[in-house]
A = this chain, B = another copy of it.
Amino acid sequence: MPDIGGIAGERLRAFIERIERLEDEKRALAEDIKEVYAEAKGSGFDTKIMRQLIRIRRMDQDDVDEQETLLDLYKRAVGMVPDQAPESAAAD
């Protein structure tokens, strides 16, 4: 670590302040997002479902499929078979 208190102290402060400024902007954006959700809720939409939707859109489709497959597998392993049997497992 460079000597703190000397010239390096100045550099450190500069870095810190740059980061803090960026974080402020990030926080402001988070606020905006919250407000949009609030507005959507005020219009009668279910924000929890909206969040799920956005998450799914963001995720890679392969990952979505993989998670679903795994969940399904686990469900069957513990005897929680969903409505339809995914690969005729219930038949035999």
A interface residues with partner B (beta carbon < 8 Å): 1-5, 8-9, 11-13, 15-16, 18-20, 22-23, 25-26, 29-30, 32-33, 36-37, 39-40, 43-46, 49-50, 52-54, 56-58, 67, 70-71, 73-80, 89
Contact = CB atoms under 8 A, between A and B. Distances in A.
The quantity of this chain's copies bound in the complex is: 4
Contacts of A4: 73-74, 76-79
Contact of A15 (B22, B30, B45): B45
Given A15-B39, A44-B2, A89-B1, A49 B32 contact: no
A37 B20 CA distance: 11
A46 B56 CA distance: 19
Given A13-B79, A79-B4, A36 B22 contact: yes
